[in-house]
């Protein structure tokens, strides 16, 4: 078995470059899409991914083989986004996260909004509608849904990527899903009205 | 007027109360199971329970479908052709 959690060693720049590419280059698709879903801009996503790879290369010596390369890269990208983009970018109509958090905290965290969301209306949705519902979420809620449901990270990995305790991962995920379901339900209902109108014509 | 407000509030509160589920314990575990974070015992318990409890069964299916639409319906954007070359160039320029 390969030795786990050893520091990355290499003898030459060529060897380093080749190790680096093997370890991280296959992650470019998920990283680019993560960058795009955070910034909604192709150029920003491009810059974000380039910056992420540059940082990863600089810190390659501290990367431990056998740790999750994907989680490591997602963490760098997310930190880069917070440091360099989030300050600059003012999202229009953005609801303050704390506000949302306290609102959803005001009730029992275990309470789940069921609404009238139905499985068949979810199945009838097209990709754009799902994307619009997701994009309507505050960036922290959007991020945790992407990490969990799209990328399949474990709670422990998400805790590391986001620098928050696992308990916060769970409660944020719970609240994010409640808001997501509300948004999906809004789309489902507007679709329903459209269908109804077609029938009445 | 105040009675009217009270009535509306009661309606809302009542509606909210109805939305609460019968089996709180299962509902907490439900997302753990769907997220792959539950223990074998928790999975077995939930599987057994949703066969007997219609609200939890419905809820399980909705939560599962929400996860599935995120996983499968979102369109992945293709990576720009120049990006990998730009990354390599950027690294070579900045890290000698
Ligand atoms: Zn039940």
Strand-pair category, A6-7 with A64-65 = antiparallel
- Cα torsion through A160, A144, A70, A78, rounded to 10: -80
Three-class DSSP category at A171? helix
pLDDT bin (cut points 50, 70, 90) of residue A108 is very low
Chain B residue numbers touching A131 (CB-CB < 8 A): 74-75
Angle (deg, nearest 10), helices A166-200 and A97-105: 90
Single pTM value for the model: 0.81
**How distant, in Å, are the alpha carbons of A6, A8, A16 from that of A3?**
7, 11, 18
Residue A100, Cβ density class (10 Å: 0-12 exposed, 13-18 middle, ≥19 buried): middle
User: Could B74 and A118 be called an inter-chain contact, meaning their C-beta atoms sit closer than 8 Å?
Assistant: no
Instruction: Report the 3 state secondary structure along A62-106.
Output: HCEECCCHHHHHHHHHHHHHHHHHHCCCCCCCCCCHHHHHHHHHC
**How distant, in Å, are the alpha carbons of A103, A113, A141, A148, B62 from that of B36?**
28, 22, 20, 10, 16
Considering chain A, what is the average pLDDT of its residues?
Answer: 84
Of these ranges, A27-36, B10-19, B24-33, B50-59, the one predicted with the greatest mean pLDDT is A27-36
The residue of chain B nearest to residue A32, with distances taken between CA atoms, is: B79
- What DSSP character marks residue A114? -
Tens of pLDDT, residues B72-82: 999 999 999 99
Q: List CB contacts of A5: < 8 A, sequence separation 6 or more.
A: A64, A65, A66, A67
Output the pLDDT for position A73: 97
Both structure tokens of A99: 């506000």
CA atoms within 13 A on the CB side of B9: 6
Output B89 or A115, whichever has higher pLDDT. Answer: B89
Output the pLDDT for position A97: 52
Chain A residue numbers touching B65 (CB-CB < 8 A): 119, 122-123
Which of A42, A114, A121, A181 to probe by mutation at the B interface, max B CB count within 10 Å?
A114
Distance from Cα B39 to the centre of ligand 1, integer Å:
18
pLDDT bin (cut points 50, 70, 90) of residue A190 is confident
The residue of chain A nearest to residue B26, with distances taken between CA atoms, is: A110
Q: List CB contacts of B45: < 8 A, sequence separation 6 or more.
A: B26, B29
Output the pLDDT for position B22: 58
Residue % of chain A over a pLDDT of 90:
61
Q: What does the alpha-carbon distance between residue A111 and residue A73 come to, in Å, rounded to a whole number?
A: 34
Confirm or reject contact between B77 and chain A (CB < 8 A). yes
Chain B residue numbers touching A173 (CB-CB < 8 A): 31, 35
Which of B20, B33, B56, B65 to probe by mutation at the A interface, max A CB count within 10 Å?
B65
Tens of pLDDT, residues A47-73: 999 999 999 999 998 898 778 999 999
**How would you label B31-54 residue by residue, b for 16+ Cβ within 10 Å and e otherwise?**
bbbbbebbeeebeebbeebbeebe
Please check whether residue A35 is in contact with residue A81, taking contact to mean a CB–CB distance below 8 angstroms. Answer: yes
Confirm or reject contact between B71 and chain A (CB < 8 A). yes
Rounded to the nearest 5°, which phi and psi values hold at B55?
-60, -40
Whether this model's ipTM surpasses 0.95 comes out as no
Both structure tokens of A2: 């390969």
Q: Above 70 in pLDDT, residue B15?
A: no
CA atoms within 13 A on the CB side of B22: 10
Output the pLDDT for position A11: 84
Average pLDDT over residues A141-157: 97
Output the pLDDT for position B96: 72
């Amino acid at each position: 078995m390969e030795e786990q959690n050893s520091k990355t060693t290499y003898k030459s720049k060529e060897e380093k470059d080749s190790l680096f590419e093997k370890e991280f280059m296959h992650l470019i698709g998920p990283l680019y899409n993560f960058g795009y879903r955070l910034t909604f801009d192709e150029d920003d996503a491009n810059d974000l991914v380039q910056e992420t790879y540059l940082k990863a290369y600089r810190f390659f010596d501290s990367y431990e083989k056998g740790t999750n390369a994907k989680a490591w890269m997602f963490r760098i990208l997310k930190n880069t986004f917070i440091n360099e983009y989030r300050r600059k970018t003012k999202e229009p109509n953005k609801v303050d996260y704390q506000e949302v958090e306290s609102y959803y905290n005001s009730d029992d965290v275990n309470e789940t909004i069921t609404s009238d969301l139905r499985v068949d209306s979810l199945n009838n949705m097209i990709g754009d509608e799902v994307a619009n519902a997701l994009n309507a979420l505050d960036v922290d809620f959007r991020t945790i849904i992407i990490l969990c449901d799209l990328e399949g990270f474990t709670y422990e990995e998400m805790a590391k990527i986001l620098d928050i305790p696992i308990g916060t991962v769970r409660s944020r995920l719970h609240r994010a899903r409640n808001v997501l379901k509300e948004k999906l339900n809004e789309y489902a209902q507007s679709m329903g009205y459209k269908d109804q109108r077609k029938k009445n014509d | 007027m105040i009675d009217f407000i009270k009535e509306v509030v009661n309606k809302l509160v009542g509606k909210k109360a109805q939305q609460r589920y019968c089996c709180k314990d299962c509902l907490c575990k439900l997302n753990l199971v769907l997220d792959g974070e539950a223990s074998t015992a928790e999975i077995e318990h939930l599987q057994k329970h949703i066969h007997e409890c219609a609200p939890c069964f419905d809820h399980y299916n909705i939560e599962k479908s929400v996860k599935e639409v995120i996983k499968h319906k979102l369109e992945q954007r293709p990576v720009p052709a120049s990006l990998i070359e730009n990354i390599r160039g950027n690294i070579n320029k900045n890290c000698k």
